[in-house]
């Protein structure tokens, strides 16, 4: 099935990106699905959405990981779904990220880092998200925050924002990243200001998004919509990017 764009009577459009359409890198120790073009996977129709450049859905086997490599001029977020991810970088940061936490690394003028699965028995499943910053040559930075999962069960939990409000990760771009944890049949609505657009990614489970069913790994671009309307189809873990 190809990516489809569906207009609504209001003029809003929803472009669905199915999980099975994503690019894939499989190196044995790594099984990665790419929502947007990344590495050896290149599709000129899938180069990101607004400032959102990368969503990689990564599964890394026990004891394996990404050796030391460099990045620059990118806001990089890591969100662990299962297992643990060990991070080390040239800023002197060493940490382990687990479910219920989110990490931000501002690559800025340049950072070398590595990411490993420290477990000898269990795999790690995480999302790596890249957001293009609003300026180049920023000073590198690192932060790691707990996720307010109770707020996400009641409504939406803010994970990252431009102004760092509510104790969230501060990123150098006009993006708000929200998390919703849905039960079956539960409904949530996130208003969008005029001119804003949204990308919705179903990290786990399934949900209806503005009337479209999205399963695990599916994404959708919402343009011209006044809100993001979610309805749970069984337990669901949904990320919403509110973008300029």
Kindly report the pTM of this predicted structure: 0.95
Per-residue pLDDT, 1: 33
Contact 183, 218 (CB under 8 A): no
Give the residue carrying structure tokens 């919509």: 225
- Percent with pLDDT over 90 in the chain: 95
**Mean pLDDT for the chain overall:** 96
Where do the DSSP E strands lie in 107-186?
A: 111-116, 124-131, 141-146, 157-161, 169-170, 175-182
Section 149-176 average pLDDT: 97
Q: Where is average pLDDT lowest: 1-15, 22-36, 50-64?
A: 1-15
C-alpha span between 150 and 152 (Å, rounded): 5
Contact 159, 203 (CB under 8 A): no
Q: Is residue 2 scored above 80 in pLDDT?
A: no
Section 118-141 average pLDDT: 98
- For residue range 36-74, list pLDDT tens digits in order: 999 999 999 999 999 999 999 999 999 999 999 999 999
């Amino acid at each position: 099935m190809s990516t489809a764009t569906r207009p609504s009577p209001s003029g809003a459009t929803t472009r669905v990106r199915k999980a099975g359409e994503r690019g894939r890198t499989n190196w044995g120790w790594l099984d990665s699905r790419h929502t947007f073009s990344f590495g050896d996977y290149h599709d000129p129709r899938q180069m990101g959405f607004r400032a959102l450049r990368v969503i990689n859905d990564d599964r890394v086997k026990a004891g394996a990981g990404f050796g030391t490599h460099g990045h620059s001029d990118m806001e990089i977020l890591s969100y662990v779904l299962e297992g643990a991810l060990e991070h080390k970088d040239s800023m002197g940061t060493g940490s382990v990220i687990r479910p219920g936490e989110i990490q931000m690394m501002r690559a800025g003028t340049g950072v070398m880092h590595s990411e490993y699965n420290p477990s000898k028995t269990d795999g790690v499943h995480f999302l790596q998200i890249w957001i293009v910053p609003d300026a180049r040559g920023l000073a590198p930075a690192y932060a790691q925050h707990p996720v307010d999962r109770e707020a996400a069960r009641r409504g939406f939990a803010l994970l990252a924002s431009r102004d760092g409000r509510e104790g969230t990760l501060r990123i150098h771009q006009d993006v708000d990243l929200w998390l919703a944890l849905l039960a079956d049949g539960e409904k949530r609505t996130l208003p969008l200001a005029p001119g804003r657009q949204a990308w919705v990614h179903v990290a786990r489970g399934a949900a209806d998004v503005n009337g479209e069913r999205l399963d695990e790994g599916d994404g959708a671009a919402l343009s011209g919509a006044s809100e993001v309307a979610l309805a749970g189809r069984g337990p669901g873990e949904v990320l919403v990017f509110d973008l300029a």
